[in-house]
């Protein structure tokens, strides 16, 4: 069957919630993808920041296969070895206290909301905790996570959403202060806004949020679902700022391709938070995904993935800087480590992306006019050069 026929057949049965790019991917190898007609693509999207180790990283598949042969699922009513090791790795690398594994980022956000409200209920003796979220944020599509997502286009059709949420401007501490009231129990922000256009938090902003939360006994929730797991050259982006959240959410690259997320609490949050009966999940943190999580941390350490990202970041940034100086419609770039955005002016980002795809480069957008680069963390200089050459052509021709 041709790719065209496959795409038409997909639209027969799959609910049309995505305007998919016109390609049918079949397999991956390293940092390359192959479509069903055998064409090769350089992958700078990584399944939206999920495939941090690319495809078939040595040892990863074997670890998963080994776990399949032992046990893929057992209820959270029981202990299992993989849960113990994966949990210990997350708390060790984050320096935080307790972890709850989920199936997705959205569910990690839901857990964080419940944990924050539970904290306020415990400390203040009544429900009704309000949360401050950021404009242009993205936290997921369930009703709770959507309620914290600062994008009216995503929210409007599904209102009324969860109440008790106020929106402030990212990197604007005064606007956060203006949202505070006696019921505010938490502030949530992405450490680096992803979907909204690749905006890293400023040092001053994160320090300010930390201070406000400390002063008022509120919880700081940092969403590390996209920017976490090594993407900034640190396990978690907040580690670059020296600011620890009370609750962190994690997902995407946590299992590098298996559906797993987590919300992670520091000691303070854990001491006054969810207790038996408050929260649960059937699949969350099952042996299959936990084997992946542990293997991902093993590989990151053994092969020094963070050091690699740190070492190569200046080259990626210089390359983007050169594109900005050489290509008129490339108006600027921003980001941290391997989560970078190239701002496009006067041309449609979607057209650039489609052209790049034709030329064998997979990239995605963020916000309205930003090309988002979230490659596997294992790319080399040669891959950056290859990306830049195709992106330059695409920007010029679009």
Ligand X SMILES: *Cc1c(COP(=O)(O)O)cnc(C)c1O
Q: Which residues bind ligand X (CB under 6 A)?
A: 104-106, 109, 138-140, 190, 194-195, 223, 225-226, 251-252, 261
Pick 140 or 376: Cβ nearer ligand X? 140
CB of 41 to ligand X, least distance (A): 22
22-31 per-residue burial string, b: 16 or more CB within 10 A, e: under 16: ebbbeebebb
Q: How far is the CB of 259 from ligand X (least distance, A)?
A: 8
Shortest distance in whole angstroms from residue 52 CB to ligand X: 13
How far from 354 is each of 42, 231, 349, 368, 377, CA to CA, in Å? Answer: 14, 25, 9, 15, 23
Q: Closer CB to ligand X, residue 104 or residue 369?
A: 104
Q: Among residues 198 and 395, whose Cβ is nearest to ligand X? A: 198
Name the residue among 285, 232, 257, 306 with its Cα closest to residue 98: 285
Residue 94 Cβ vs ligand X, minimum distance, rounded to whole Å: 16
Q: Does residue 347 contact residue 395 with C-beta atoms inside 8 Å?
A: yes
Minimal distance, residue 137 CB to ligand X, in Å: 8
- Of 98 and 139, the one with the shorter C-beta distance to ligand X is 139
Rounded to an integer, what distance in angstroms lies between the CA atom of residue 55 and that of residue 30? 5
Shortest Å, Cβ 48 to ligand X:
6
Per the CB < 8 A criterion, the answer to whether 210 and 220 are in contact is yes
225 contacts 252 by C-beta, under 8 angstroms: yes
Report the C-alpha gap between 335 and 110 in whole angstroms.
27
In the complex, minimum distance from the CB of residue 270 to ligand X, in angstroms, rounded to a whole number:
22
Judged by beta carbon, residue 136 or residue 252, the one nearer ligand X is 252
DSSP state of 287: H
Residues 206, 234: contact at Cβ < 8 Å?
A: no
CB-based contact 93:235 (threshold 8 Å): yes
User: Do the beta carbons of residue 334 and residue 313 sit within 8 Å?
Assistant: no
Residue with smaller CB distance to ligand X, 238 or 390: 238
Q: Which helix (H) or strand (E) holds 319?
A: helix 305-326
**How far apart, in whole angstroms, are the C-alpha atoms of residue 225 and residue 211?**
23
Q: Tokens 């600062």 identify what position?
A: 150
Rounded to a whole number of angstroms, the minimum distance from the CB of residue 18 to ligand X is: 12
Nearest distance, CB of residue 301 and ligand X, angstroms: 24
Nearer to ligand X, 100 or 138 (CB): 138
**Closest CB to ligand X among residues 140, 208:** 140
Q: Which residue, 105 or 208, has its beta carbon nearer to ligand X?
A: 105
Alpha-carbon span 126 to 76, nearest angstrom: 29
Q: Any idea which residue has 């009216």 for tokens?
A: 152
Please tell me the distance from the alpha carbon of residue 14 to that of residue 206, in angstroms, as a whole number. 41
How many Cβ atoms are within 10 Å of 263's Cβ, its own excluded? 31
Which CB sits closer to ligand X, 109 or 219? 109
In the complex with ligand X, which residue's Cβ is closer, 110 or 246? 110
Cα diameter, the chain: 63
Q: How far apart are CB 170 and ligand X at their closest, in Å?
A: 12
Which residue is nearest to ligand X, using beta carbons?
Answer: 105
Which residues is 250 bridged to in the sheet? 262
Other Cβ atoms closer than 10 A to 354: 16
CB of 150 to ligand X, least distance (A): 12
């Amino acid at each position: 069957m041709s790719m065209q026929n496959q795409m038409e057949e997909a639209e027969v049965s799959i609910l049309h919630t995505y305007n998919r790019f016109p390609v049918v991917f079949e397999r991956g190898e390293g940092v390359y993808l192959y479509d069903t007609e055998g064409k090769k693509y350089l992958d700078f999207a990584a399944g939206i920041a999920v495939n941090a180790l690319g495809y078939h990283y040595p040892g990863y598949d074997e670890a998963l296969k080994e776990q399949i042969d032992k046990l893929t699922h057992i209820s959270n009513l029981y202990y299992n070895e993989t849960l113990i090791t994966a949990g210990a790795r997350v708390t060790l690398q984050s320096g935080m206290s307790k972890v709850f594994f989920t199936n997705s980022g959205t569910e990690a956000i839901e857990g964080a909301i419940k944990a924050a409200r539970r904290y306020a209920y415990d400390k203040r003796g009544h429900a009704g905790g309000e949360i401050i979220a950021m404009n242009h944020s993205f936290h997921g599509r369930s009703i709770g996570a959507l309620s914290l997502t600062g994008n009216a286009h995503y929210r409007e059709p599904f209102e009324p959403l969860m109440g008790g949420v106020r929106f402030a401007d990212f990197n604007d501490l005064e606007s956060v202060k203006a949202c505070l009231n006696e019921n505010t129990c938490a502030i949530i922000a992405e450490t680096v806004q992803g979907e909204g256009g690749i905006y890293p938090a400023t040092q001053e902003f994160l320090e300010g949020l930390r201070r406000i939360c400390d002063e008022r006994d509120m919880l700081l929730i940092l969403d590390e679902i996209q920017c976490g797991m090594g993407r900034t050259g640190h396990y978690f982006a907040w580690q670059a700022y020296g600011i620890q959240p009370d609750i962190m959410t994690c997902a995407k690259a946590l299992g590098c391709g298996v559906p797993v997320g987590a919300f992670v609490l520091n000691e303070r949050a854990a001491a006054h938070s969810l207790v038996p009966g408050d929260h649960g999940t059937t699949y969350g943190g099952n042996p299959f995904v936990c084997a992946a999580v542990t293997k991902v941390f093993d590989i990151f350490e053994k092969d020094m993935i963070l050091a690699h990202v740190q070492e190569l970041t200046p080259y990626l940034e210089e390359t983007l800087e050169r594109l900005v100086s050489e290509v008129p419609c490339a108006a600027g770039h921003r980001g941290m480590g391997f989560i970078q955005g190239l701002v496009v002016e006067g041309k449609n980002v979607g057209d650039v992306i489609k052209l790049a795809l034709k030329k064998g480069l997979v990239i995605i957008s963020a916000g309205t006019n930003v090309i988002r680069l979230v490659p596997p963390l294992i790319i080399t200089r040669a891959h950056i050069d290859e990306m830049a050459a195709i992106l330059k052509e695409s920007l010029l021709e679009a």
